[in-house]
Structure 1
Amino acid sequence: MDAKRLRLETGEQCYRERGPHDQSGGPTLVLLHGISSSAGSWARLAERLPGYRLLAWDAPGYGDSHPLANEAPTAADYAERLEAWLAALGVERCVLVGHSLGAMMAAGYLAAHPGRLAGVVLADPAQGYGEAEPARRDEVYRSRWTQLEAQGHAAYARARAPRLLREGADPADIARVEAEMHKLHVEGFAQAGWMLANDSLGRYLAATPAVPALVICGDEDRITPPEDARALARRLALPYRDIPRAGHASYIDAPAAFARAIDDFARPLLGAVDSSATP
């Protein structure tokens, strides 16, 4: 995926792109990474979706993307940066794929800007702690960025990366997750941690979404367990799909199965897609 950047009114927005560059109105998937990751984490999945224009952002405060102005942001704040970025790219219609904390951002975007969306995928969705007691919210907020600050990137990544994948994960996949964690910035990580601790997906998706949506989850996810994802799908009356032999970072553990799930969902919503997708 090619690394690119745009200057928006709210600051620099960096992203990666793969696919036909002249198809701004063509079949487009927009990929939102989770709290410990970045745009580069989608590289192996991108190889399995050749028929689509793929746009993967570095969330505000990640990579070289400027942090949000609000030091205590909600999913709605991330959604406004997302809207500015998609508008600047000329994306008129897309399927939004949000992984983990990215699923909360996708929910915030869907609530505010449904007209740009053909569909939404909530993958291994983090649902947030906004309804928890204050002490629990504070614990969640401080549970990641403070460790990164205290331990440094190498130690934090070694300790954390294996938990995002299935038991017995490919060492190369663990190394990929560690490499993305080495790119984290404390400021952006802390902002995302605030959103996770103090906002909730349910604030944006209180009922069945206004556009087609799908919930998917790795069947060995230890971070956002499948039973929680299934319960979310039931509450919203949405279809649910397991990703076999996959942990929380299901698109890294099982990119072919993840790509099939995305393609099966997105193809009828976006129209013509190269039939060579998802080998």
Structure 2
Amino acid sequence: MEQNNPTRALQPDEALLRALDSGFSERRIAAGRGGAPLAYRCGGSHGPVVVLLHGISSGAASWLSCASLLAAHARVIAWDAPGYGNSQALPIAAPKAADYALRLQDLMRALDVRPDVIVGHSLGALMAAAYVAEASPALLPAQLLLLSPAQGYGGPGKEDKARDVARQRLEALAAVGVEGLAERGPGRLLSAAASADMQAWVRWNMRRLDPDGYRQAVAMLCGDAIDDYLGRRGQGVRAQVGCGALDVVTPPPGCAALAERFALPFELIPDAGHACYVEQASRVAGWIRRGLAAA
């Protein structure tokens, strides 16, 4: 699906990049027993801790607008998942969500924080669900927010779908490379009404994908599933599901069905595609604030 807006910004606005450097700059830390490097961005200096997990085609920087709206009243931490940005990849070719969740625990321990709310977008939702199933009680959040969650294709009866999705994604990467994926990205991740600047922001973030990290993430998407993790989430962790009303990647009916299976509140984000926190940052920030209040 191509964007209807004929205006095409080739690069993000300079003011946006300055804000990224000044208010949401990258930090790096050695985490875990092996001291694996993890990169993250942090906004705000006080208040409850909100942890933001990006999806398969993005990175920590993509949360800038949403994080900026939260930073006045919360400490916001957005990581680059292993294999993304300057975060060291996992040492296995086909990791599970639990492997990413262990690294997230390492980051929380290294920063000496306990999250109050974890927000997982798309594939990040699968990682977040694994985190609340695997983390020690001392590291559990009060609230888990799953935003346009990727549910994974590792469940029973999904073997053919898993193979098809893996083949399509890896063939596309081989055929057009990261740059080609970035050019296609806005047409799938944003609604047709998204501005040229939003499209440029999605491309900018996608251009920073690492092919090997992306391949690992594809393996996790196609080899794992969210339901088992949600069913085992830690005691006292409440969860909610949200979805862009115009999302064609994880469409609303599937997200609503996930919420119904686990008796979770479900909310549509109006006028937003899959990357709803980019397209409707204010609305998503409001949803997160309500999650904080509930926590």
Q: Report the TM-score when normalising by structure 1.
A: 0.91
Distance in 2 separating the partners of 1:38 and 1:123? 15
Q: How many Å apart are 1:146 and its aligned residue?
A: 3.6
| Residue pairs, 1:79-98, within 5 angstroms | 79-98=101-120
Q: How many Å apart are 1:71 and its aligned residue?
A: 1.2
Match of 2:219 among 194, 201, 218: 194
Counterpart for residue 56 of structure 1: 78
Counterpart for residue 125 of structure 1: 149
Where do 5+ consecutive residues of structure 2 fail to align?
1-23
Counterpart for residue 275 of structure 2: 249
Is the CA contact 2:39–2:87 (under 8 Å) kept in the aligned structure 1? yes
Is the CA contact 1:216–1:242 (under 8 Å) kept in the aligned structure 2? yes
Distance in 2 separating the partners of 1:170 and 1:88? 38
Match of 2:181 among 151, 156, 172: 156
Stretch moving more, 132-141 or 34-43: 132-141
Distance in 1 separating the partners of 2:40 and 2:133? 23
Q: Report the TM-score when normalising by structure 2.
A: 0.86
Q: How many Å apart are 1:12 and its aligned residue?
A: 0.7
- Helix, strand or coil at the partner of 1:143: helix
**What letter matches 1:186 in structure 2?**
P
**What letter matches 2:167 in structure 1?**
R
Aligned CA distance change for structure 1 residues 231 and 134 (closer, same or farther; 3 Å): closer
Aligned CA distance change for structure 1 residues 19 and 208 (closer, same or farther; 3 Å): closer
- Helix, strand or coil at the partner of 1:68: coil
Match of 1:222 among 248, 268, 271: 248
Are residues 1:168 and 2:193 paired?
yes
Are residues 1:7 and 2:30 paired?
yes
Q: How many Å apart are 1:209 and its aligned residue?
A: 6.5
**What letter matches 2:103 in structure 1?**
R
Counterpart for residue 237 of structure 1: 263
| Residue pairs, 1:18-167, within 5 angstroms | 18-20=43-45, 23=46, 26-49=47-70, 50-113=72-135, 115=137, 116=139, 117-131=141-155, 132-167=157-192
**What letter matches 2:225 in structure 1?**
S
Is the CA contact 1:149–1:186 (under 8 Å) kept in the aligned structure 2? no
Distance in 2 separating the partners of 1:38 and 1:64? 10
- Helix, strand or coil at the partner of 1:216: strand
**Length, aligned pairs only:** 265
Where do 5+ consecutive residues of structure 1 fail to align?
270-279
CA deviation digits over 1:139-197, x for unaligned, max 9?
Answer: 21232244223212322211232210112211111111111110001110000000100
Distance in 2 separating the partners of 1:93 and 1:138? 35
Aligned CA distance change for structure 1 residues 206 and 178 (closer, same or farther; 3 Å): same
- Helix, strand or coil at the partner of 1:204: helix
Is the CA contact 1:95–1:121 (under 8 Å) kept in the aligned structure 2? yes
Counterpart for residue 182 of structure 1: 207
**What letter matches 1:219 in structure 2?**
A
Distance in 2 separating the partners of 1:104 and 1:134? 18
Are residues 1:205 and 2:230 paired?
yes
Distance in 2 separating the partners of 1:94 and 1:62? 24
Q: How many Å apart are 1:97 and its aligned residue?
A: 0.3
**What letter matches 1:33 in structure 2?**
H
Alignment identity in percent? 42
- Superposed CA RMSD: 1.5
Distance in 2 separating the partners of 1:134 and 1:240? 28
Distance in 1 separating the partners of 2:40 and 2:220? 21
Q: Which runs of 4+ in 1 moved over 3 A?
A: 132-135, 207-210
